[in-house]
Structure 1
Amino acid sequence: MKTLAALLLISITLNLFAGNDNPPGTVKIEENLYCDITEVSNITWKEYMFWAKRKYGEQSEQYQATLPDTLVWKKIDYNQPYVEYYYQHPAYQNYPVVGISYEQAKAYCQWRSDRVNEKLYLKEHKIDPEQLATIKNIPEVYKYRLPTKEEWEKIARADYSKRAKRKFKRKKYRNAHRHNFKTITDKADSEITDGPDITTQVDAYWTNTYGVYNILGNVAEMVAEKGVAKGGSWRHTKKEVTIEKDFSYQGPTDWLGFRCVCEKAEDK
């Protein structure tokens, strides 16, 4: 029953096969390169933690290794409440997970690959989930990972969608926020840089032509090159950010998150 319960509850990230052939949670960028529609969210990360807790136990090293560092919010006094509430409160479940290290992000990518491939295998072979523990060498159909700098920059160069551009022309949306960057007082830039005090929902604002949300702003995103993040965050102004610019980090912070890209095995 534990295996079945875990599979049923791990659904937000994995139950997204319907409607197209893209790997779950992604849009197509080019031949055999797919990108997450959104940054990895708190609720999605909690699925990962739930799985590790059920499989290995709350005191296990495996489960402890999934815990985000909530103390990253202690750096500024007014952010103290977020130490307790940002990750735990339901209001923030669709916000990007932060306080994650590079190693944790990579481990999540591998976990996600394994779970998606398991689910696909069970579906194709019509196998009871209770038998999953007895099955070895499940084929790797999908491989999630962090994007390279080159891949991330390609995705970020995409323009807004036509639908978004049409909205921007309307008076109602002319001064609407388009990114979540640091609030500034320069009126000339306020229409596209003023935003929330911290992060916002991972599906806020408008997508680009690929269908990707928040590739710029909200949280800077880790790439495959360790210590490098791209895209800027709620702590950066729009003037600080270019697609080519690299942001450096040493460990978990309150402005750093990630999204995955995915490839499909060539013979699948």
Structure 2
Amino acid sequence: MIFPISRLGYFFTLFGLVWITAYAKKHPTSARPGKVSLTTGRAFNQSDTLSVVPSKQAPPIPGMVYIEGGYMVMGNLVEDKLGTGGCATKPVTVTSFYIDKAPITNLDYREYLYDLQKSGLVEAYKAAIPNHQALLEGFSYNDPYLESYLDAPQFMYYPVVGVSWEQAMQYCKWRTKKFQELEIEKYSAKRAVEGHEAEPTSLNYQDIHSEVANTSVTFTLPSEAQWEYAARAIVGVASIDYLQRHQRVYPWDSPSPRGKNGRFLANFKRGKGNYKGMAGESDHAAPTSYVYAYPPNDLGIYDMVGNVCCWVSDTYDPLALQNSGDLNPVVRGAALGHSGGHQDKAPRNENNKVYKGCSWADSAYFLQIGTRRYLHKDSATATIGFRCVVSSLGR
């Protein structure tokens, strides 16, 4: 009996040593940075030393889908009918981000307008009102839509239109502010439960601000690369050679705009004078459609093409793929801040902004992910909406 016990003791001793070596002395991480500097031995968070706040997972972002970054072939090889630089391709990598599950709706935008008005920001409210006259461009007898498209309950979850690039950017700033205010409220309530002062004061505001800033998010328009990556919905493992040979033309696998049941997969103009198809095929009450009316792509995102086009952050450059980098490429304008480097050498009109996708008034050609167009940043039409993204700093 002695020999078996000795062998058992030896096993547990060896197991304990392995566990201590592998797990007991974990390397520091952003979530567990440690209390002492590894280079100087000085304690953090003292009156005369660096204040270190552990990283925390970002809070859930309402209405958004997490997109894991990766490699794709950006652009396409189809005929560039508009001469806007949509016939080139380039291998690029896009890092992870969050994107709205659907375009910003009339209800979303009405909440924004209500908040501006309630806050007494009269000038900002007036500047944010969509250009209802843009609806006159799209169709003939449009009086009902001109008067009620934004506010009618029936159009609550239809995409907002008549919004310029500048207005969309201001919405992103407002959404960022509201999200951060909500996080401060949550953190203040948490402090109150723990016995701290509930409302921010001069004594605890810095602590609250640091804690919220540690997990805060910034909403903005997607870059052209982010938009294409989300639209292509590359899911699973695929070799680089495969991606280069088999580009996904649409946000779905089918080479046709129709699904397996024969029904169209997006809201677009089917032919000359044909916006909706035969009676019974469509029950939409407006040229636009309910944002969840058509199937999502493989990432669970709705209306990446069809219904309305989407403003992106990029300044228009016909040689964008050639003049930008291959990691998170973007053509920056003055509003986003020039990043320096070769992408700023090409002359361009800073006021022209790119929009992507296909609208209810566009032909099937624009259902192709790689197509691109541009418009002045202050222009608004009945065919362009927008959605927001948030860059992921890690999960």
CA contact (8 A) 2:267 2:360 kept: yes
Larger Rg: 1 or 2? 2
| Distance in 1 (alpha carbons) for counterparts of 2:273 and 2:307 | 20
Q: How does 1:1-12 map to 2 (within 5 A)?
A: none
Match 2:161 to one of 86, 93, 98? 98
**CA apart distance, 1:241:** 3.3
Q: Deviations over 1:116-141 (max 9, x none)?
A: 1211221123179x957996856271
Match 1:143 to one of 218, 229, 232? 218
Matching residue's letter, 1:144? F
| Distance in 2 (alpha carbons) for counterparts of 1:106 and 1:265 | 21
**CA apart distance, 1:237:** 1.5
Q: How does 1:183-202 map to 2 (within 5 A)?
A: 183-184=270-271, 196=284, 198-202=287-291
Q: Deviations over 1:92-125 (max 9, x none)?
A: 1110001111111011111111111211221123
Aligned to 2:262, the other structure's residue is in SS state coil
Match 1:223 to one of 305, 312, 330? 312
CA contact (8 A) 1:218 1:233 kept: yes
Change (3 A) 1:50 1:230: same
| Distance in 1 (alpha carbons) for counterparts of 2:119 and 2:106 | 20
Q: Is 1:262 matched up with 2:390?
A: yes
Matching residue's letter, 2:134? V
**Alignment length (residue pairs):** 231
| Distance in 1 (alpha carbons) for counterparts of 2:382 and 2:113 | 19
**CA apart distance, 1:265:** 5.2
Match 2:97 to one of 16, 25, 33? 33
Match 1:176 to one of 235, 253, 263? 263
Consecutive unaligned residues in structure 1, runs of 5 or more = 1-19, 162-167
* Identity, % of aligned positions: 30
Aligned to 1:13: none
Match 1:211 to one of 300, 315, 332? 300
| Distance in 1 (alpha carbons) for counterparts of 2:270 and 2:361 | 8
CA contact (8 A) 1:22 1:28 kept: no
Change (3 A) 1:231 1:132: farther
Q: Is 1:68 matched up with 2:155?
A: no
Q: Is 1:156 matched up with 2:201?
A: no
Change (3 A) 1:212 1:154: same
TM-score, normalized by length of structure 1?
Answer: 0.76
Aligned to 1:118, the other structure's residue is in SS state helix
Aligned to 1:96, the other structure's residue is in SS state coil
Matching residue's letter, 1:256? I
Aligned to 2:364: 238
Change (3 A) 1:178 1:241: closer
Q: Is 1:252 matched up with 2:380?
A: yes
CA contact (8 A) 2:150 2:156 kept: yes
Change (3 A) 1:185 1:102: closer
Aligned to 2:145, the other structure's residue is in SS state helix
Q: How does 1:21-60 map to 2 (within 5 A)?
A: 22-30=60-68, 32-57=96-121, 60=122
Q: Which one has a larger percent helix, Structure 1 or Structure 2?
A: 1
Aligned to 1:224, the other structure's residue is in SS state strand
| Distance in 2 (alpha carbons) for counterparts of 1:181 and 1:21 | 36
Change (3 A) 1:114 1:95: same
Aligned to 2:98, the other structure's residue is in SS state strand
| Distance in 1 (alpha carbons) for counterparts of 2:135 and 2:272 | 24
| Distance in 2 (alpha carbons) for counterparts of 1:97 and 1:27 | 20
**CA apart distance, 1:33:** 0.4
TM-score, normalized by length of structure 2?
Answer: 0.53
Matching residue's letter, 1:62? A
**CA apart distance, 1:52:** 0.5
Aligned to 1:11: none
Consecutive unaligned residues in structure 2, runs of 5 or more = 1-57, 70-95, 193-197, 234-250, 254-258, 316-352
| Distance in 2 (alpha carbons) for counterparts of 1:241 and 1:203 | 17
CA contact (8 A) 1:220 1:231 kept: yes
